Structure 1
Amino acid sequence: MSISPDGKLDVLALKSPSIRTLHITWIAFFMTFVLWFAHAPFKGAISSAFNLTGAQWKALLILNLALTIPARIVIGILVDKFGPRLTYSLLLMISGLFCVGFALSTSFQMLALMRFLMGFAGAGFVIGIRLVGEWFPARQVGLAEGIYGGWGNFGSAAAAMVLPSLALAFGGDDGWRYAFISVGCISFVYGIIFYKTIQNTPKGSTYFKPKKSGGLEVSSPRDFYFLLMMNLPMFAALGVLAWKLSPSGVNLLSAGLVQLIYGLLIVLFIFQTWQIYRVNAPMLKAGKVPEHQRYPFRQVAILDINYLITFGSELAVVSMLPSFFGETFGLSTVKAGFLASGFAFMNLAARPGGGWISDKFGRRKTMLILLAGLALGYLALSQIDSSWPVALAVIATMACSFFVQAGEGAVFAMVPLIQRRMTGQIAGMTGAYGNVGGVIFLTVYSFVSTPTFFMIIAASSIVGLVASCFLKEPQGHISEVAEDGSVQLIEVS
Structure 2
Amino acid sequence: MLGEMWQFRGRYKILHITWFAFFLSFVVWFNFPPLATTVGADLNLTKEQISTIAICNVALTVPARIIIGMLLDKFGPRLTYSLLLMYAAIPCLMFASAQNFNQLVISRLLMGIVGAGFVIGIRMVAEWFPPKEIGLAEGIYGGWGNFGSAFSAFTMALIAGWFAFGAPGSALNWRAAIAGTGIFAALYGVFYLFNAKDTPPGKAYRRPASARGIEVTTTKDFWLLMLMNIPLSAILGLVAWRLMKLGLYGTGTMYIIWLALLGLYLFQAYNCWVVNKDLMTGKKRYPAEDRYNFSQVAILELTYIVNFGSELAVVSMLPAFFEGTFSLSAAAAGMIASSYAFMNLAARPGGGLISDKLGSRKVTMGVLTGCMGIGYLLFSQVDSTWSLPLAVILVMCCSFFVQAGEGSTFSIVPLVKKRITGQVAGNVGAYGNVGAVLYLNIFSLLPGWLGGGADPTPAIEAASTARFFQIMGVAALIVAALCFVVLKEPKGSFAEAHHDEEKTVVPNTSPILETESI
Fold conserved between structures, TM > 0.5: yes
Letter in 1 for 2:250: S
**Which of 434, 439, 457 is the matching residue for 2:432?**
434
Deviation at 1:162, TM superposition (A): 1.1
CA distance in 1, matches of 2:75, 2:332: 46
**Which of 247, 252, 258 is the matching residue for 1:251?**
247
Deviation at 1:306, TM superposition (A): 0.2
SS class of match (1:339)? helix
1:452 maps onto 2:452 in alignment: no
Dislocated runs of 4+, deviation >6 Å: 484-487
1:70 maps to what in 2?
63
2:337 maps to what in 1?
340
Q: Is the contact made by 1:130 and 1:416 (CA closer than 8 Å) also made in structure 2?
A: yes
Letter in 2 for 1:271: F
SS class of match (1:205)? coil
2:307 maps to what in 1?
310
CA distance in 1, matches of 2:95, 2:172: 13
1:479 maps onto 2:479 in alignment: no
CA distance in 2, matches of 1:405, 1:350: 6
What's the TM-score, normalizing by structure 2?
A: 0.90
CA distance in 2, matches of 1:49, 1:214: 44
1:461 maps to what in 2?
476
Superposed, which structure 2 residues align to 1:92-131 within 5 Å?
Answer: 92-131=85-124
SS class of match (1:71)? helix
CA distance in 1, matches of 2:38, 2:370: 42
**Which of 323, 328, 343 is the matching residue for 1:326?**
323
CA distance in 2, matches of 1:89, 1:452: 43
Letter in 2 for 1:277: W
CA distance in 2, matches of 1:321, 1:100: 30
SS class of match (1:260)? helix
CA distance in 1, matches of 2:180, 2:320: 30
CA gap 1:485/1:27 in 2 versus in 1, 3 angstroms? closer
CA distance in 1, matches of 2:422, 2:33: 29
Deviation at 1:183, TM superposition (A): 1.1
SS class of match (1:396)? helix
Deviation per CA, 1:383-430: give whole Å up to 9, x if none: 001000000000011100000000000000000011111000000000
Identity of aligned residues (%): 48
2:459 maps to what in 1?
none
Deviation at 1:92, TM superposition (A): 0.1
CA distance in 1, matches of 2:275, 2:318: 43
Deviation at 1:301, TM superposition (A): 0.5
Matched length: 478
Superposed, which structure 2 residues align to 1:392-403 within 5 Å?
Answer: 392-403=390-401
Q: Is the contact made by 1:85 and 1:198 (CA closer than 8 Å) also made in structure 2?
A: yes
What's the TM-score, normalizing by structure 1?
A: 0.95
1:40 maps to what in 2?
33
Letter in 2 for 1:170: F
CA distance in 2, matches of 1:466, 1:372: 8
Deviation at 1:236, TM superposition (A): 1.1
SS class of match (2:499)? strand
Q: Unaligned stretches of 5+ in structure 1? A: 488-493
1:203 maps to what in 2?
201
CA distance in 2, matches of 1:251, 1:462: 37
1:301 maps onto 2:322 in alignment: no
Deviation at 1:486, TM superposition (A): 8.1
Deviation per CA, 1:274-314: give whole Å up to 9, x if none: 00000000111227422232101111001000000000000
Q: Is the contact made by 1:92 and 1:188 (CA closer than 8 Å) also made in structure 2?
A: yes
Deviation at 1:485, TM superposition (A): 6.4
CA distance in 2, matches of 1:169, 1:475: 52
Q: Is the contact made by 1:312 and 1:436 (CA closer than 8 Å) also made in structure 2?
A: yes
SS class of match (1:143)? helix
**Which of 68, 72, 75 is the matching residue for 1:79?**
72
SS class of match (1:12)? coil
CA gap 1:484/1:183 in 2 versus in 1, 3 angstroms? closer
Superposed, which structure 2 residues align to 1:201-240 within 5 Å?
Answer: 201-240=199-238
Deviation at 1:475, TM superposition (A): 2.9
2:409 maps to what in 1?
411
**Which of 258, 261, 285 is the matching residue for 2:257?**
261
Letter in 1 for 2:489: E
Q: Unaligned stretches of 5+ in structure 2? A: 447-463, 493-497, 505-513
CA distance in 2, matches of 1:37, 1:89: 19
Q: Is the contact made by 2:135 and 2:349 (CA closer than 8 Å) also made in structure 1?
A: yes
Deviation at 1:10, TM superposition (A): 2.4
2:454 maps to what in 1?
none
Q: Is the contact made by 2:302 and 2:479 (CA closer than 8 Å) also made in structure 1?
A: yes
Letter in 1 for 2:473: A
Letter in 2 for 1:467: L
1:491 maps to what in 2?
none
SS class of match (2:500)? strand
2:450 maps to what in 1?
none
Q: Is the contact made by 2:313 and 2:440 (CA closer than 8 Å) also made in structure 1?
A: yes
CA distance in 2, matches of 1:237, 1:334: 33
Deviation per CA, 1:147-185: give whole Å up to 9, x if none: 000000010111111111111111152511111121111
SS class of match (1:383)? coil
